[in-house]
Structure 1
Amino acid sequence: MDIRKLLGLPDLLDVRSVVCVQPHPDDNEVGAAGTLLALAERGCKIVFVTVTDGGAGVPNLTMSREEIVEIRREERLNAGKLLGVSEQLELGFPDAGQYTEQEVVQRLIPILREHRPELVMTVDPWMPYEAHPDHIKTGHAVVHAMLFSGNNATQRGAGEPYTVPQIAFYASSHPNTYIDVTSYWERKLSAILAHKSQFENAEWPLLSNFFAYQAQQLYQAGHMEARADEVRYAEAFKLLSVRQLHFFPTALYS
């Protein structure tokens, strides 16, 4: 049974509004820039929400944390312009800090109720071996906010209740949706490279080759057709309805 079709939910590329919640500046670009470019071309409203300030992302002892945060903010804004992002919101929690998942949930619920997106996108917190606490807290906070933003008993005075219909996890080990991003690949790399503090270094040739290899493997995993002489790229997501986020054991295999 395809519960998403049963509920009449649109395909990923057909949604008209999306809120993309990332742990750090650059996560949305690495995980989903090609798909976001495709959505923007279709007129989708894209809102970025960045949970942390990125202040732990540059191991440079000559700069203060405040300087690093400002650099990463400018990089994030520049990358968003390349992707056609409509609005950028920052929660400002300390990168790798001691904030709690519940604090993030309380900040996200009013955002979901205000923007009322057809889809939320974020990192998959259940990816095996994911060790970064910011990624785990962010992913969990997003699904908790989805469950409770439609329930006025959970957070009063934070706008009219609204239930987000579905979620797309990138960086998922159990994807069920593959998007051909071949025509957007170079622009995706440009958006990633807009985060110069993270990627403009000696490791970029190796890292970009890894991104390309990974995307080619995802294209094959999605069983999309290509000529033998073609090089094609895909991004992959675990796409679930909100109903599959509670008491739904088969969501893993959906």
Structure 2
Amino acid sequence: MSNRTALVVSAHSADFVWRCGGAIALHAARGYEVTIVCLSYGERGESAKLWKQEGMTLEKVKAGRRKEAENAAEALAAHDIQFFDLGDYPLEMDREAKYRLVDVIRKVQPSFMLSHSLDDPYNTDHPYATRATLECRMVAQAWGHNPGEAVLGAPQLYLFEPHQTERCGWKPDTLLDITPVWERKKAAIECMEGQQHLWTYYTNVAENRANQFRRNSGGQSGGREAKYAEGFQSIFPRTVDEL
């Protein structure tokens, strides 16, 4: 296994594409093995276009969503994508499901982790996934949980951008230039045929974050000419040797 790894925990099978597809592609290009866990397919609440098709069933929707996510993960050059199939609206995790996520965390030993904002009144599945991720991160650090296994260190958990940031208490403190891999993210976005209404929206988000990247990297007095970027909020203090 590569000593440079990352783990994305996505409530639904499309969330990772819109919100951190650029980070996945960028780090994959830099040699990271990025694992994606989709806790659900988003089959009930985020597949309206599929449900409008005649003769649609729950299993057909799940299969369609899985194929879209697999194609998107391939477009981003992710190392692995796993589907827990826990259901959505609401998403719920019992102890067995949480321990399954703990097992993935310990196996991946991520350098950093990515998940949702801690609040989202429009979609409670999202913060639920993140709080479960924090709980599983804690368990993965516990020497008394399955003694003898390699315990987790202290990877940063970055919260990716929610759909309506101003209602979710999300304040980005990290901006990532994804310009070099934008075409990969665009290709992944276009894999999500069940939610075409979001394609343009998240292109605009990436352009707006790039504007902020340029300003915060020096602006007109020498800032990097980023065209597309993603924003993240860190949960834990970052340890650095220089700013």
Deviation at 1:104, TM superposition (A): 4.4
Question: Which segment drifts farther, 64-73 or 157-166?
Answer: 157-166
Check if 1:213 corresponds to 2:208.
no
Check if 1:121 corresponds to 2:110.
no
Check if 1:183 corresponds to 2:153.
no
Deviation at 1:168, TM superposition (A): 1.4
Determine the C-alpha separation between the residues in 2 that align with 1:171 and 1:101.
26
Deviation at 1:18, TM superposition (A): 0.3
Question: Which segment drifts farther, 133-142 or 104-113?
Answer: 104-113
Conserved 8 A contact 2:75-2:188: yes
Taking the TM superposition and a 5 Å limit, the aligned residue runs for 1:8-47 are: 16-47=4-35
Unaligned runs of 5+ in 1: 1-14, 245-254
Could you tell me which amino acid in structure 2 is paired with residue 70 of structure 1? A
Deviation at 1:145, TM superposition (A): 1.2
Could you tell me which amino acid in structure 1 is paired with residue 99 of structure 2? Q
2:47 corresponds to: 58
Q: SS at the partner of 1:32?
A: helix
2:135 corresponds to: 144
Selected match of 2:60 from 64, 67, 89: 67
2:167 corresponds to: none
Determine the C-alpha separation between the residues in 2 that align with 1:21 and 1:73.
15
Unaligned runs of 5+ in 2: 163-169, 239-243
> Relative to structure 1, is the Cα distance of residues 182 and 151 closer, same or farther in structure 2, using a 3 angstrom cutoff?
same
TM-score, length basis structure 1 = 0.76
Could you tell me which amino acid in structure 2 is paired with residue 234 of structure 1? A
2:229 corresponds to: 234
1:97 corresponds to: 90
1:169 corresponds to: 159
Deviations 1:55-79 (A, max 9, x none): 2132315300000000111111111
Let me know the Cα RMSD of the aligned residues: 2.6
